[in-house]
């Protein structure tokens, strides 16, 4: 490929088609094995099947923000890997589910996973499979397809001027009997929330928040889902442009 063609590719595709650097051989050490589930390696074999996927492969869409602006549904996980290649994943919960059938007990695994780039994007997904590795892989794929942009800002009266890493205003989230209320906090306050909520907010790029919870908070899956729903509800609130500028509200990544 020419330099012009490389510059017109999505960040993930640039990493996938970049020339491989030879590894230095060290005596007494085996060469590193490649991970078969590496999303960057999977992009080399990607054949787009949707209209949005063809646009990403052709270099017409280079950022995730442009993909959302098109209004087209994201149905291929390779689109997310190509536009945001630095997503991190975290397995929230692994449950073993047993069902009695005529042939005996059938064991399946239910997994919840969370993905995020620690800079304004987070996703949550669940999946089931007969094996743990397969269930984790399917849950991470579901989380990437459920990726949302998080609104951040300086909503606390203690915050100083400038872009913040908290939320702009109070928000509520619910999942089954678990209810989570997130409130803005000043910079340096930290994540005042349970361990499960911290894992979701950390991947979303929110570093300062206050919280209040009700219900069965020991249920890890509902706790994580309620926290994710609270972040999702930030996007459903209409905010005037004047208030957006005063609270330094920005949605998604901090683009330069």
* Paired tokens of 9: 């590719």
Handedness of CA 186, 244, 204, 40 (dihedral sign): negative
pLDDT at 26 over 60: no
The whole-number average pLDDT for the span 17-46 is 67
Q: Which residue has the tokens 């536009």?
A: 83
pLDDT band (50, 70, 90) for residue 256: very low
Cα–Cα distance for residue pair 119/28, rounded to 1 Å: 40
Query: How does DSSP classify residue 221?
Result: H
User: Average pLDDT of the chain?
Assistant: 86
Q: Which residue has the tokens 């997310």?
A: 80
Task: Find all residues with CB under 8 Å of 74, minimum gap 6, and list them.
Answer: 52, 67, 80, 145, 147
Cα–Cα distance for residue pair 213/49, rounded to 1 Å: 43
Q: Which segment of 16-25, 111-120, 247-256 scores lowest on mean pLDDT?
A: 16-25
Cα–Cα distance for residue pair 78/60, rounded to 1 Å: 15
pLDDT at 198 over 90: yes
pLDDT of residue 160: 63
pLDDT at 224 over 90: yes
**Kind and range of the H or E element at 192?**
strand 191-192
Cα–Cα distance for residue pair 218/137, rounded to 1 Å: 25
Show me where the domains of the chain are located.
Answer: 3-14+35-83, 88-147, 151-251
Cα–Cα distance for residue pair 198/160, rounded to 1 Å: 23
Q: What is the pLDDT of residues 57-104, one digit of tens each?
A: 998 999 998 999 999 999 999 999 999 988 999 999 999 988 888 888
Annotate 37-85 with DSSP letters as a single string: T-HHHHGGG----SHHHHHHHTTS--SHHHHHHHT-----HHHHHHH-T
Q: Residues of the chain with pLDDT > 90: what percent?
A: 54
Q: Does domain 88-147 have CATH number 3.10.20.70?
A: no
Cα–Cα distance for residue pair 111/42, rounded to 1 Å: 22
CB distance 202 to 228 below 8 Å:
no
Domain 151-251 falls in which CATH fold? Ribosomal Protein S5; domain 2 (3.30.230)
Q: Is the pTM of this model over 0.75?
A: yes
pLDDT at 134 over 90: yes
Q: What is the pLDDT of residues 160-197, one digit of tens each?
A: 666 678 898 899 999 999 999 999 998 888 999 999 99
Length of the chain: 256
What are the backbone angles phi and psi of residue 195, rounded to the nearest 5°?
-60, -40
Q: Which residue has the tokens 């001027």?
A: 161
- Same CATH fold, 151-251 and 88-147? no
Q: Measured at the alpha carbon of residue 63, what is the angle toward residues 243 and 52, in degrees to the nearest 5?
A: 115
């Amino acid at each position: 490929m020419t330099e012009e063609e490389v510059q017109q590719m999505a960040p993930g595709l640039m990493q996938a088609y970049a020339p491989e650097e030879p590894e230095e051989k060290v005596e007494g050490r085996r060469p590193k094995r490649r991970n078969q589930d590496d999303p960057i390696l999977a992009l080399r074999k990607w054949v787009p099947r949707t209209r949005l996927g063809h646009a990403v492969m052709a270099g017409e869409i280079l950022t995730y923000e442009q993909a959302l602006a098109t209004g087209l549904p994201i149905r291929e996980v390779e689109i997310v890997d190509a536009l945001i290649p630095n997503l991190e994943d975290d397995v929230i919960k692994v449950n073993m589910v047993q069902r009695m059938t005529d042939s005996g007990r059938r064991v399946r695994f239910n997994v919840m996973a969370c993905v995020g780039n620690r800079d304004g994007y987070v996703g949550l997904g669940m999946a089931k499979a007969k094996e743990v590795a397969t269930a984790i892989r399917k849950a991470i794929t579901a989380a990437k397809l459920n990726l949302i942009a998080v609104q951040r800002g300086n909503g606390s009266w203690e915050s100083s001027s400038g872009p913040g890493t908290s939320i702009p205003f109070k928000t509520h989230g619910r999942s089954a009997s678990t209810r989570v209320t997130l409130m803005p906090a000043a910079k340096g306050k930290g994540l005042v929330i349970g361990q499960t909520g911290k894992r979701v907010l950390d991947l979303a790029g929110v570093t300062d928040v206050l919280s209040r919870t009700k219900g069965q908070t020991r249920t890890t899956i509902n706790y994580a889902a309620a926290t994710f729903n609270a972040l999702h509800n930030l996007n459903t609130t209409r905010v005037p442009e004047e208030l957006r500028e005063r609270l330094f509200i920005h949605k998604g990544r901090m683009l330069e």
